[in-house]
Structure 1
Amino acid sequence: MHRTLNHLLDVDLTCLSRFTGEPTTIPDFGIDRYADFTELWGARIATDRRISEWATTVTPEWL
């Protein structure tokens, strides 16, 4: 489960990077971004907040 949550975070960060133009790095295959669940959960919350903030800037033209 932990690796799946890391993977989903990586996917969201990659998409957000493409949408915003902000750079991101993805760990090598088989390497988890966060080994500690508490850190992973904190990053998930922060990323969800960033996605929500970005979503408020989306215009019909962008879509």
Structure 2
Amino acid sequence: MLRRARLVLGVPRAFAPGWAARGVDHELVDAQALRDGWLSARPPAPSMTLLQQAWLATAR
């Protein structure tokens, strides 16, 4: 279980530094605050949906 938790927490930290703030509605989302949350020691679980959305927008 601990290994899986480390993997999940590592994903936002790997993606966030290079994220160009694409894939989120900037009228609703503060991109810098979102990036800071992803880079924190405990990324907020509700932001993981935005992480997936941002990753998909970047991967296109």
TM-score for both structures, normalised by structure 1 = 0.42
Q: Which has the higher helix share?
A: 2
Q: TM-score if structure 2 supplies the norm length?
A: 0.43
Question: Who wins on radius of gyration, i.e. which is larger?
Answer: 1
Higher RCO, 1 vs 2 (CA within 8 Å, ≥6 residues apart) = 2
